[in-house]
Amino acid sequence: QAMAQALESRHMLEQTRQEAEKATELLAGALDALPIGIAIFDTSDRLVIRNEYLGDMFPELYAGDCMQQSFEALLRREVRLGLLPEAVGQEDAWIARRMRERGALPQPLLQRQAGDRWIHIYEVRTPQGFKVLARAEVTDLVRKEQQLAQANEQLARQTATDGLTGIANRRRFDETLAVEWARAARSGHSLSLLIVDIDHFKRFNDHYGHVAGDACLRRVARVLGRCVRRAGE
């Protein structure tokens, strides 16, 4: 009877082991099918699972046998490989700050990588104490946002700039005058206004032509621009 119980226990143990292996294979297959990088760290913060996509995203970082390495060890390796430009020159302080934030990020972290590459990092902690890290490639999205911001900035400059002289136009003047008037009223300081006229400009324009006249206006604008020394002028 004892022999039968031992065999039954061994059979149940083997069945449990096989089910665990199937579950692990199923999990690994599911993670490998995801188009984002996934890494799972155990309660000791050591890497126990990573999917293939993560290895493809960072082949140098996850080259060789990286399993069971701690998160800090992998982070230091990432810094040592030069993959994190913002850590250059402050490596230890940067790593210490990142470790303090570990598992407690209130929102996804947008991180710049070498080569102007951008990664969204998600971190969650499971009820069992495991930490799950997900990395999504968002380089194209960030670059499009940067291009849009640059286009909007250029458009804003164009709407506030005189096309001929390159200095602020009447619209910008009206906006600035309102701001400086309110500032002077609050502080009790005076407000100065200069009206500059170019002597005999019509005669100059008629004699040398409109092209030379436009060039004259641009030169005067540059001279006035060099007189500006402080904000609000």
Q: What span, in angstroms and rounded, lies between the C-alpha atoms of 233 and 229? A: 7
Local structure of 33: helix, strand or coil: coil
In this predicted structure, the answer to whether residue 179 has a pLDDT above a threshold of 70 is yes
Among 137, 144, 171, 147, smallest CA distance to 157 is for: 171
Q: What span, in angstroms and rounded, lies between the C-alpha atoms of 55 and 184? A: 61
Q: What's residue 159's pLDDT?
A: 83
Local structure of 87: helix, strand or coil: helix
In this predicted structure, the answer to whether residue 18 has a pLDDT above a threshold of 70 is no
Tokens of 226: 């060099």
Q: What is the DSSP letter of 108?
A: P
Q: What's residue 208's pLDDT?
A: 94
Q: Which pTM value belongs to this model? A: 0.60
**Mean pLDDT, to the nearest integer, of 197-202?**
92
In this predicted structure, the answer to whether residue 144 has a pLDDT above a threshold of 90 is yes
Q: Using N-to-C axis directions, what is the helix angle for 201-208 and 210-227, rounded to 10°?
A: 140
**Mean pLDDT, to the nearest integer, of 161-172?**
87
In this predicted structure, the answer to whether residue 130 has a pLDDT above a threshold of 70 is yes
Tell me the pLDDT band of 227, cut-offs 50, 70 and 90.
confident
